A and B are shown apart, each in its own frame.
Chain A
Amino acid sequence: MRTVAPIEIAQPHEASLSASDREAVFETRGLTVSYGKAPAVSNVDLSIYRNLVTAIIGPSGCGKSTFLRSLNRMNDLVPSAKVEGEVLYHGQNIYGDGVDPVEVRRRIGMVFQKPNPFPKSIYDNVAWGLRVLGMKDDLDGRVERALTQAALWDEVKDRLKKGAFGLSGGQQQRLCLARAIAVEPDVVLLDEPASALDPIATSKIEDLMHELKNDYTLVIVTHNMQQAARVADLTAFFTLERTEQGGHGVLVEYGETPKIFTQPADRRTEGYVTGRFG
């Protein structure tokens, strides 16, 4: 049971989310990612829509991160990874001929599970990407804007030249967010961004996402269902399908978050969100 496009439902608190209004930033067709022979995630058809937060949820091992990483070709960094199917970004297959992963990653940024700031100063962490990509005009201004958007500016503005390792975990993660949005991506992918953080830092990140979706399209992988319910407009539920070779992830259901959590169409979804399985 798979739904491909969200169903139009009138929501009292949200503007219309219908597919016809929104542009699909991503559309995956038959996406299968394998490490070596064993597929990790199999035959996914999913569309990601503009300026919305889309959450990917599911039990561990069901390929959520693998799916996310296939959206910005980070799986290319793993030698044994193989990608079949298509990932269309604004209509262009990012795995097509003539497409450079460097350009892909410039437009589709990523924040990782464990905060990974560079061993540089706070300023240089944000400025590095800008310098490399040639966005050197008004560097100070760009750095400040990125840090402001990541709700970090006030906390670091007096110590920009200090090392990034002096920040707390939550601050480091916001720095990584600032670093990613400084280069003006179209999409930001977040791979369990708050799982290594304490509850206060987590809620700061979640608040940020409500702001950021005005400027960016966000896709977040999370193992925390409540988090998905809090931040996401659309939610996709993946699960593990067992085979003789082991198991691989499949997309089960995809729709507006309230519906997924209150009226899931698939039994497996229902099992997961009510806590019976996974």
Chain B
Amino acid sequence: MGLTGAATLAAFLLLFGIAWKILDLSRPAISRYGFGFITHQGWDTVHRQFGALDLIWGTAITSFLALLVAAPVSIAIGLYLSELAPRGFRLIIGTLVELLAAIPSVVLGLWGILVLGPFVGAHIEPWLQRHLGFIPLFSGSPQNVGILIAVLVLTIMIVPICSSICRELFLSVPSELEEGAMALGATRWEMVRGVVLPYTRSGVSAALILGLGRAVGEAIAVSMVIGAGFGIHWSLFATGDTLASKIANQYQSADTDILRSSLVYLAGILLIISLLVNLAAQVIVRRFSYQRVGGT
């Protein structure tokens, strides 16, 4: 009993230790730049002027765009695996989608930089620029690296997680509710839209937020394909950087204490964002359980 309790205590201490250590290491940077760090643009190693804004923007835009694409795809796959696929296919395709989640981020990054990137840069981005170039998102010159490719890679990472959870949620809808809708003469899709999706609304939101958390924290794959660019641009073809990928890129070559400390400051911001996202997902799940038992 003591041994197991001690192990659990160690886990608690670990979590607090992580937060504490990050705070500790970033103290020099916090005392030097204060909270203005968060709103300062630019990362000048020569003049020792560091700011997180570019990176917060990079994290936000890559993660949210990836979620935007991944959400309908994940929900569609979840529906396919729970409602639509012929029985025999469900296990096979379900397993294949889950295997997609098992691909290590470095392998996906390698594929991204050597296969996907060149393809997108040579074919997709020029096409987008030709036909939709008037939209600022698709302006600028096509490249083999950049935000668009990072978004695609992140989408590939988010979809398996979210679709697995969605599938479980859709399977949990009581069959009598589905029968009640079908008995009225609804088509399968109408039943899904009217019963399954509303019933699982909170769970699906939590799943998507978990996917967002995954995207926010991804360092390796993103750093390999995003091109380590500077500044805030509107074009998706531009290179950029996120909080996580910046840390991955620069940490090893960080030669000054203030640079290292600033990078840990970035880690601290990333930690806070990640915890908030996680917390949001937990809150939704708990409110969801309450809703089911109690009120409307």
- Evaluate contact between B296 and A166: CB separation under 8 angstroms: yes
In addition to A110-B183, A176-B180, A179-B184, 17 A-B residue pairs with Cβ atoms within 8 Å of each other are: A74-B179, A74-B182, A74-B183, A105-B185, A109-B183, A112-B183, A114-B176, A118-B181, A118-B195, A119-B177, A121-B296, A128-B184, A128-B194, A132-B184, A132-B186, A132-B190, A163-B295
The reply to whether the CB of B198 lies closer than 8 angstroms to some CB of chain A is yes
Given A112-B176, A116-B176, A116-B177, residue A105 in contact with residue B182 (CB < 8 A): yes
Minimum CB–CB distance from A104 to chain B (whole Å) comes to: 8
The reply to whether the CB of A180 lies closer than 8 angstroms to some CB of chain B is yes
Interface size class of B (residues with CB under 8 A): 20 to 34
How does the 8 Å CB contact mask read for A93-114 relative to B, with 1 for contact and 0 for none?
A: 0000000001111110110101
Residue of B nearest to A79 (CB): B87
Partner of B187, one of A102, A121, A176, A183: A102
| Interface positions of B from 232 to 289, Cβ below 8 Å from A | none
* Residues of chain A with a CB closer than 8 A to B199's CB: 119
Given A112-B180, A118-B177, A119-B199, residue A183 in contact with residue B296 (CB < 8 A): no
Given A105-B185, A106-B184, A163-B295, residue A120 in contact with residue B198 (CB < 8 A): yes
Partner of B185, one of A79, A117, A121, A133: A133
Bound-state Cα–Cα, A213 to B11, Å: 67
**Interface pairs A-B: 5 shortest CB-CB:** A163-B296, A106-B185, A110-B183, A129-B184, A105-B185
Residue of A nearest to B184 (CB): A129
* Residues of chain B with a CB closer than 8 A to A128's CB: 181, 184, 194
The reply to whether the CB of A77 lies closer than 8 angstroms to some CB of chain B is yes
What are 12 A-B contacts with C-beta separation under 8 Å? Answer: A77-B182, A102-B185, A105-B184, A106-B184, A112-B176, A116-B174, A118-B177, A119-B199, A120-B198, A128-B194, A132-B184, A133-B185
Number of A-B contacts (CB under 8 A): 70
* Residues of chain B with a CB closer than 8 A to A77's CB: 179, 182
- Evaluate contact between A116 and B179: CB separation under 8 angstroms: yes
- Evaluate contact between B179 and A109: CB separation under 8 angstroms: no
Bound-state Cα–Cα, A93 to B159, Å: 45
The reply to whether the CB of A157 lies closer than 8 angstroms to some CB of chain B is no
* B contact set with A: CB distance below 8 Å: 87, 174, 176-177, 179-187, 190, 194-195, 198-199, 295-296
The reply to whether the CB of A136 lies closer than 8 angstroms to some CB of chain B is no
* Residues of chain B with a CB closer than 8 A to A32's CB: none
* Residues of chain A with a CB closer than 8 A to B194's CB: 118, 128, 132
Minimum CB–CB distance from B287 to chain A (whole Å) comes to: 15
Bound-state Cα–Cα, A172 to B185, Å: 20
How does the 8 Å CB contact mask read for A154-186 relative to B, with 1 for contact and 0 for none?
A: 000000001101100000000010011001000
Bound-state Cα–Cα, A264 to B145, Å: 84
Minimum CB–CB distance from B233 to chain A (whole Å) comes to: 45
The reply to whether the CB of A28 lies closer than 8 angstroms to some CB of chain B is no
The reply to whether the CB of A51 lies closer than 8 angstroms to some CB of chain B is no
Minimum CB–CB distance from A201 to chain B (whole Å) comes to: 18
How many residues in A have their beta carbons less than 8 Å from beta carbons of B?
32
The reply to whether the CB of A72 lies closer than 8 angstroms to some CB of chain B is yes
* Residues of chain A with a CB closer than 8 A to B182's CB: 74, 77, 105
* Residues of chain A with a CB closer than 8 A to B179's CB: 74, 77, 112, 116
- Evaluate contact between B176 and A180: CB separation under 8 angstroms: no
* Residues of chain A with a CB closer than 8 A to B87's CB: 79
Minimum CB–CB distance from B184 to chain A (whole Å) comes to: 4
- Evaluate contact between B198 and A72: CB separation under 8 angstroms: no
- Evaluate contact between B296 and A105: CB separation under 8 angstroms: no
Bound-state Cα–Cα, A94 to B250, Å: 70
- Evaluate contact between A129 and B185: CB separation under 8 angstroms: yes
* Residues of chain B with a CB closer than 8 A to A79's CB: 87
Minimum CB–CB distance from A142 to chain B (whole Å) comes to: 14
* Residues of chain B with a CB closer than 8 A to A104's CB: 185
Bound-state Cα–Cα, A180 to B185, Å: 10
Bound-state Cα–Cα, A41 to B224, Å: 64
* Residues of chain A with a CB closer than 8 A to B183's CB: 72, 74, 105, 109-110, 112, 180
Residue of A nearest to B292 (CB): A119
Residue of A nearest to B87 (CB): A79
Minimum CB–CB distance from B188 to chain A (whole Å) comes to: 9
Residue of B nearest to A122 (CB): B296
Bound-state Cα–Cα, A112 to B190, Å: 20
Residue of A nearest to B293 (CB): A165
Minimum CB–CB distance from B76 to chain A (whole Å) comes to: 21
Bound-state Cα–Cα, A166 to B296, Å: 8
- Evaluate contact between B184 and A162: CB separation under 8 angstroms: no
Given A121-B296, A132-B190, A132-B194, residue A109 in contact with residue B184 (CB < 8 A): yes
Which of A72, A116, A133 is the most central at the interface, judged by chain B CB atoms within 10 Å of its CB?
Answer: A116
Residue of A nearest to B199 (CB): A119
* Residues of chain A with a CB closer than 8 A to B198's CB: 119-120
Bound-state Cα–Cα, A105 to B183, Å: 6
